[in-house]
Structure 1
Amino acid sequence: MKASTSCWSNFGSRREIGNGVSNESKILLAYPSCFRYSEQVDSLDIKTSLLWLASYLKQFHPVEYVDYELKIGRPASQTQIRRFERIVRNDLSSRDFDILGISCWTSLSYQSSLAVARICRELYPDKLIVVGGYHPTALPNEFITEDKLFDYVVCGEGEHALVDIARRLADTGRPAKTEIIQGPPLKLEEFVPYNWDLVEPIVRQHAVNGVDCLYIFLARGCPFRCSFCMEPLKDANWRALSPAEAVAQIMAAARRFEIRSVGIADACFGVRPAWRHEFLNRMVEEQPPFWVIFETRPEYITEEDIRLLTHLKAEVQFGVESGSPSMLRLMHKSRAPEKFLGAFVRASRELSSHGIVHRGNLLFNHPGETRDTLDETFAFIDSCLAPEHSSLMWVPHTYMHFPGCEVYDHRESFENKYGTRFDAGDWWLGDSDQYQASMALVPSASLDGENRELCWRMMEPRMEKMKQILTPQAFRFAANKYYPYWQDDYRYQNV
C-alpha cells in the first residue's frame, strides 16, 4: 500500500496564521506508553518534548494532553494490554477533539501507537489521526496500514506541520490516503514558553510528594552525528532559548511543582560558550535548592564553567562512551579521539578538585566492539580511577538498536566486517520483551559465546574501586540516583 509524500514548505508564519485561538480544530496530544517493556515506571516523567509541542499549538488551537504511560502504566502481558486498551477506549470516548496527535517517541512505543490509533479509529471513523516522533521519522512507511489508521505521518519537527494540518482540516477533511509529511524545523524566534497548565493535573495526581527530576528541553539541534544516536534525523542547527528565558522556564516549573532536580534534556548542552556562561551565571543568581543536571562535551568545559558550577548543586554528565580511540572513531564521537579522551581526563580532574559531581557515560556492546577495544576502554577507566577523593561516577549502558541511527542503516557492513549479529531483527514488530530485545545483539565475533557478558564482568571490580574513592557527597548522590543498593553501605549511613 503506497502513501503520498509531500513536503509542505509554505507554512504560515505567526502573523499569517494569526495570534488568536481557532475554534475550528481541537487537538488532543497523546503519549501512548510502551508495550511489553520490562522496565517499569518508578517516578513521574513529564514528557516535556510533547509539552513543548502542545505549548506551541496552544497559541492557535484548543489543546489537551494525555499521557497513557502515567495514566495506565506499561503493559507487559497480553492481559495487561487488553486492560490498557479498555482504559484508553473509555478515556477517548469521553474527550472532545478533532485531531489526535500520537507521539511515537521511539520504537518502544510503536505497538502502543498502533493500538491507540486503532481504538480512536473504531470510536471515531472520521477524526484525523496524526503520528510523529523518531520512529515515524526513521520508518514512516511502517505507519501505512491497510485500514488507514493514520492520516498523516510527520517526519521531523511537528509544530508547523500540525498547525497547517489543523488549519486545513475544515476545508479538506481527511486525505484520501495516508500522507507522509516532512515538518520543517522550528526557528529560534518561534520558540515559546512551556505551558505548565497543560500538565499540572497530571503532576498533582501522580507526584503528590513532588517531582524527583524534571527533564526539560532548552534547545534543539545537535552538531554531532554519533553512530548510535537518532538525533541526526533532525536538524543539526543548535537553537536555544536565551539564557534568561531558559532560567525563567526552569524556575517557573520549580515554583509551581516541588522539584528535587532538573535534568536539561538537550542532546548537547551549551554548545556556545557565551550562552553557557550566561546561563550558569543566571542559575547561580537564583541559588536553586534543587540539583541541576546536564550532559555536555569534555572539550567544552572551561575554568569559568567550573567556577560557576562550584556555586550550584550540579551533576555534569559526559558521553564518553568508550576509552578506545578506534571505537570512538567508529561511533563518530570524535575525529581526534585521543584529544577527546585527554580533554575528559583534564575536565574530570578539575571537577573533582572542586568537588563537583560528574558522570562518565559508557556505551557497551556497540556493534564493532571487540575484546581488544574493551581492554582499551578498561585501561582508560583504570587510569581515571587512580586519584583519591574523586567526584567521578561511571555509569555503563548497553547499546540499544533503534532505526534511524547510522548503525541501523549499515547493519550489513557491521555483520560482514565484525561478525556483529542483530539477534532480535526488527524487534519492535514482535511480541517479546521490547526493552530486552532492543539490546539483543552480539557486537563482534570476539565477544560471542562465553565473552558475551564480558563487559559487565570486567566492570564489576571497577565499580567497587569507584565506590571506595568517591567523595562523601558524590557517594551519597550516586547511591540515591544510580546505585540504591549502596544505601546499605556504612558510608551512606554516615554521610
Structure 2
Amino acid sequence: MRVSLVHPRLIYLPSQPPLGLGYLAACLERAGHEVQFIEGAFTEDDNEIAQRVCDFKPDLIGVSVMISYHTKSLSLASLFKEYMPKTPVIFGGPHPSVVPDDILKHSQVDFVMCGEGEDSLIKMVDMMERGNFDPRTIPGLHWRGGQAHESHTIRLTDLDEIPWPARHLFPMSQYQHRGYVVSFGFHGGNFNIMMSRGCPYKCNFCDHSVFGQKPVFRNIDDVIDEIEYVSSHYNIRNFDIMDDTFTMHKGKVFEFCNKLIERDLNLFWACRLRVNSVSREMMELMARAGCVHFSVGIESVDERVIFATNKKITSKKVLQVLGWAKEFGILTIGNFMIGNLGDDPVAIRKTLDFALDTDEIDIPSFCVLAPLPGTEVFEIGTQRGWIRSYDWDDYRMNTKDLPIMRNEAMTHQEIMDIYSEVANAVRPKIQHAMDTLHAPRINLYPELAMDEDTKPEPVQWASVPSEALREM
C-alpha cells in the first residue's frame, strides 16, 4: 500500500524533524509499504501539500496533530477530501490521543489512532492491503460511532525492535538552528534522537497520553550507532535528545556519555533534565561528552506553587545543579510557568527576581499555563469553572489573547498583564545571552565560516513560538 504521512504547516520553521512520523514511516517501509513524507513548514501553502499527496496517489493519509495546530490540521484534511474524496484520513499524535471523539466530529477525519502508532498502524495497513480490514481489532483505533476493543494502543516494551526513523524521507538539510531559545548555543544543522519513552513523574500540567508514565529504554549502543550514522551521513554536528527527562536513569546517562566520548565524534547536544536526578559527577561527564545546554523545568520558586504542580523539587537543588553547569561550561535554560494553581502576583515577582538575579540561569523562559486536556490541572480548571474556552486553537502557552485558565488568585486579564511585564523584564537578559554566549560559538563550527563580506548581520533574538516549545 501507499501511505502519505504529513506534518502540517507551522507558523515557524522547525529546527528538527518530527521523530514520531519518522518512526512510523520506517516501520511502514520495513513492512513493505511505500511511504511519502511531507514537511509542511517547507512548502508554499496547503494547496501544494494537497497536490503533492494527490500526485502520490496514496491509499491512506496520516496527519500528525498537536493541539496548537488543531485547526490547521483539519483544514488540511478538508483539502485532502477535495482532492481525494475516497482516500481515508487518519489523525494521530498527542492531541487526538486525548480527545478522539472531538476530532471525529469533523467529517474530513475518518480515523484517530490513540497512543504509540508503530504496531497498530502497521496492522491496520496490512489488513487494508489484504482486504480484510476490521477496525475493531486495531488497538487504539477510533472512528465515528465506534472504537477498537482496545481503546488505546498497546505500549511498546522493546524500543530496539523498531527501526531508526526514516530520515531519508525528511528534508534534512532544511532543519537548521535559528534564533530561537531552543537553539541556544547551536549553529547550523540539527537532528534529534530518543533514548527512552515515558516519564514517571506526575507534574500537574504534563500529558502522558502517547508514551505513558512507565519508562522504556533503548540499548545505548544502538543509540550511539544511530547518532554516529546520522551525523556522518548528513554532515550534521548538533543533536537534541528528545526524552522528557534525560537524567531519570543514572546508569543510562553514564553509559551514554562514556560511549559517546569513546567514539570521539566531536558533536554538540542538548537535553531536558530534572534537578533531583542529577549529580556533580553526572554534570561533569555530560560536559565532557559534548552537552552544550540543558533546559530545566523550574516553574516557580514559591513553595505553594511547587507543591501544587507536583514538581517535588526545591530551589536549593535547582541552584546546586545550575552551579555545577556553570562550573563545567554548560549553558542553561530555566523554564518558568505563570498561572498554575497557587500562583499569584507576589509568587510571580519572587520567581521573576530569581530568574533575573541568578547568574547561573543564562536564558529565563517564561510561559503562561496552557491546561492541556488529559492533565490534572485541566480537570481542576474545568471543575472550578476557570477555563474560559474549549476552542483548541486558543491553547497556546504564550497566546496573544487572554490565557485559557485563571486560578484562585488572578483573573484571566491579570495573568495576561503580569505576563507582559515579565516578558519585557527578561528580554534584555535573553538578548545578552544570545549576544555573548550564543553568537561566539559559531567559531566552533569551521564548516560554517564565512568571509567578512558574506557574514550576515546579527539577528535580534526571537522568542520561540509556543508550538516549538511543545514539540521540544
Q: After TM superposition, is the score higher than 0.5?
A: yes
Task: Tell me the equivalent position of 1:51.
Answer: 22
- Change in 2 beyond 3 A, CA 1:204/1:476: closer
2:53 — aligned with what?
92
For the structure 1 residues 315 and 205, does the alpha-carbon distance in structure 2 shift closer, same or farther, using more than 3 Å as the test? closer
Could you tell me how far 1:294 is from its partner in structure 2? 0.2
Identity rate of aligned residues, in percent? Answer: 17
Q: Deviations over 1:323-354 (max 9, x none)?
A: 112112211212xx4xx322211111122122
Pair 1:284–1:270, CA change in 2 (3 A): same
Following TM superposition, by how much is the alpha carbon of 1:198 offset from its aligned partner in structure 2, in angstroms?
A: 2.1
Shift of 1:466: 7.9
Tell me the CA shift for residue 62 of structure 1. 1.7
Matched, 1:151 2:128: no
* The 10-residue stretch of structure 1 (371-380 or 88-97) with the greater mean CA deviation from structure 2: 371-380
TM-score (norm 1): 0.75
The equivalent residue for 2:470 is none
- Output one character per residue of 1:121-157: Cα deviation in whole Å (capped at 9) or x when no partner: 344344332211111111101222474x333211111
Q: Check whether the contact 1:238–1:271 (CA below 8 A) recurs between aligned residues.
A: no
Unaligned runs of 5+ in 1: 1-24, 35-39, 74-82, 488-495
Structure-2 residue corresponding to 1:182: 152
**Hey, what does 1:491 align to over in structure 2?**
none
Letter of the 2:51 partner, please give it.
Answer: N
Taking the aligned partners of 1:270 and 1:187, their CA distance within structure 2 comes to 20
The residue number in structure 2 matching 1:428 is: 392
Count of residue pairs the alignment pairs up: 427
- Distance, in Å, in 2 between the alignment partners of 1:293 and 1:431 is 27
**Cα contact 1:156–1:183 (8 A) shared by 2:** yes
Give distance in 2, aligned partners of 1:448 and 1:208.
Answer: 34
Alignment of 1:286-297 (within 5 A): 286-297=263-274
**1:55-109 CA-partner distances (Å, limit 9, x unpaired):** 1222113242423422326xxxxxxxxx52x3233212201322212211x1123
Indicate how the Cα distance of structure 1 residues 31 and 468 shifts in structure 2: closer, same or farther if over 3 A, else same. closer
> C-alpha displacement at 1:51, in angstroms?
0.5
Change (3 A) 1:468 1:436: closer
Q: Within 5 A, what are the aligned runs for 1:52-451?
A: 52-72=23-43, 84=46, 86-104=47-65, 106-145=66-105, 147=107, 149-169=108-128, 170-173=130-133, 178=144, 179-180=146-147, 181-188=151-158, 189-199=160-170, 202-204=171-173, 212-231=189-208, 234-311=211-288, 312-334=290-312, 337=313, 340-366=314-340, 368-381=342-355, 384-385=358-359, 390=360, 392-415=362-385, 420=386, 422-423=387-388, 425-428=389-392, 435-436=399-400, 439-446=403-410, 449=413
Q: Quick one: which amino acid aligns to residue 58 of structure 1?
A: E
SS at match of 2:334: strand
Is this contact kept in 1: 2:26–2:164, CA < 8 A?
yes
Structure 1 match to 2:7: 31
Q: Which runs of 5+ in 2 are unaligned?
A: 137-142, 179-186, 445-457, 463-472
Secondary structure of 1:396's counterpart equals: strand
> Which amino acid in the other structure matches residue 196 of structure 1?
R
Deviations 1:11-67 (A, max 9, x none): xxxxxxxxxxxxxx2222111235xxxxx3245431122112221222113242423
Structure 1 stretch displaced more, 113-122 or 91-100: 113-122
- What is the distance in 1 between the residues matched to 2:50 and 2:413? 46
Which residue is equivalent to 2:468? none
Q: Is contact 2:114-2:153 (8 Å) kept?
A: yes
More displaced 10-residue stretch of structure 1: 288-297 or 371-380: 371-380
**C-alpha RMSD of matched pairs (Å):** 3.7
Aligned to 1:409, the other structure's residue is in SS state helix
Q: Which has the larger radius of gyration?
A: 1
> Distance in 2 between the 1:91 and 1:370 partners?
50
